[in-house]
Amino acid sequence: MNNWFSWIFALLLIFDVSLKYHLNLRQKNSILRFFNAVPDAFSSQISLPEHQKAGRYSQAKLKLARVELFFGAIILLFFTFGGGINLLGELTSFNNHLLSSQVALIISYSILSSILFLPFSYYSTFKIEQEFGFNKMTLKLFIIDLIKGTAIALLIGTPLLYLVLWLMQNLGNSWWLWVWLVLVAFNLLILLIYPTFIAPLFNKFSPLEDLELKEKIEQLLQECGFKSQGIFVMDGSKRSSHGNAYFTGLGASKRIVFFDTLLKQLTHAEIIAVLAHELGHFKHKHIIKQMIISFGITLIGLYIFSLFISHEWFYAGMNVGIINNASGLLLLFIITNLISLPLAPLSSFMSRKNEFEADDFAKEHSNKEDLINGLVKLYRDNASTLTPDDLYVKFYYSHPPASTRIANLEK
């Protein structure tokens, strides 16, 4: 490690692992501290056994995350200081086909990384989710999903990689701006086609058949000025018993999707209240604002990256002997992951602020007691912990903790 950037990279990795491990332990200890008592705000709706089940469920996921954290650090060291990227570069090198070689390097890195982390996904699904009664997925469906996801990623990602690397190779110092424009257009296109072309490859989407509920929903949509392509029910129960609802799509392709599990968990009034919350995000333009911020951060990141992509110290600092745009992009991805956690509290804070605004909107257009009851049922049925650590919340929670959120609704 005679390169100054090697020390910076090593310190970033140590800091990242240490901070994540520290936050994980804080969350673990917070859950254990309140394991034998249901918070007063929930004592009438959530029993002690249900509260303790949520605690054990969270502990199991935290334990797996700790193992995955250290495994990920070892894999990262293998790809960098261990020469893994250099080895992949040699294996994917095609004579007289520089662009194809670079695309093959990135694809092989992505596939190999996915294979290495596949056991964690398997254990999470068939051990943790199964043990706590949430998993409905079969091994056959797990494999089919994996094959479909990989095929779609290759089908969509390969042309995108060719275009991005071609722009970097042929457009001189301004490549970062053109790549940014391509990435923005690509993301918007995915948002547009996801509901009608991609999502149906994994799940069945059926029009809502409950006419009484549909009439109530349409009345709420009209009141809020929201137009969508339709109201659909997704067969989420074939993979998990967790309930959820979401908006998806862009422009005319917008649609409202309910998990079939959610419709079984909540009453009509509670479903309307949860939907009113989601409409609050739409009325406050939260999704658009988040997209603009994301695109802005991407633009700044690509510009900064363009300043040192051609410098040898950047590659030598991580023991990568292949100096080209593909290896540069891989190292950018690695560095971005290492510096993203310290920035997480800001994005998490903004996300939680959006949730409060959406809740306030829901209080204006539905009964707040229905929303509270619906949220408590979801916390209970999804085994969400009610006693998270404050610092862990600041880094990882995109939604306010249960107690804070209920208190805000009751104001």
Q: Taking 90 as the threshold, does the pLDDT of residue 269 lie above it?
A: yes
**Taking the model in full, what pTM does it have?**
0.90
Cα(103)–Cα(157) distance, integer angstroms = 10
| pLDDT at 249 (0 to 100) | 72
Q: Taking 60 as the threshold, does the pLDDT of residue 69 lie above it?
A: yes
Q: Taking 90 as the threshold, does the pLDDT of residue 82 lie above it?
A: yes
- Is 278 a residue of the active site? yes
| pLDDT at 252 (0 to 100) | 64
Cα(43)–Cα(370) distance, integer angstroms = 17
Q: pLDDT (tens digit, 9 = 90+) per residue, 127-162? A: 999 999 999 999 999 999 999 999 999 999 999 999
Mean pLDDT of 203-209: 89
| pLDDT at 2 (0 to 100) | 58
| pLDDT at 107 (0 to 100) | 96
Q: Taking 90 as the threshold, does the pLDDT of residue 87 lie above it?
A: yes
Element (H, E) at 141: helix 139-170
Mean pLDDT of 254-280: 89
Q: Taking 80 as the threshold, does the pLDDT of residue 204 lie above it?
A: yes
Q: Of 278, 357, 360, 369, which residue is the catalytic one?
A: 278
Q: Of 359, 370, 381, 389, which residue is the catalytic one?
A: 359
Element (H, E) at 350: helix 344-365
- Residue 205: strand, helix, or coil: strand
Phi and psi for 46 in degrees, rounded to 5?
-125, 125
| pLDDT at 9 (0 to 100) | 93
Residues above pLDDT 90, as percent of the chain: 70
Cα(216)–Cα(269) distance, integer angstroms = 9
Candidate from 113-127, 213-227, 238-252, 277-291 with smallest mean pLDDT:
238-252
Element (H, E) at 248: strand 245-248
- Residue 324: strand, helix, or coil: coil
| pLDDT at 347 (0 to 100) | 92
Mean pLDDT of 214-228: 85
| pLDDT at 1 (0 to 100) | 57
Higher pLDDT pick, 192 / 273: 273
Q: Taking 80 as the threshold, does the pLDDT of residue 90 lie above it?
A: yes
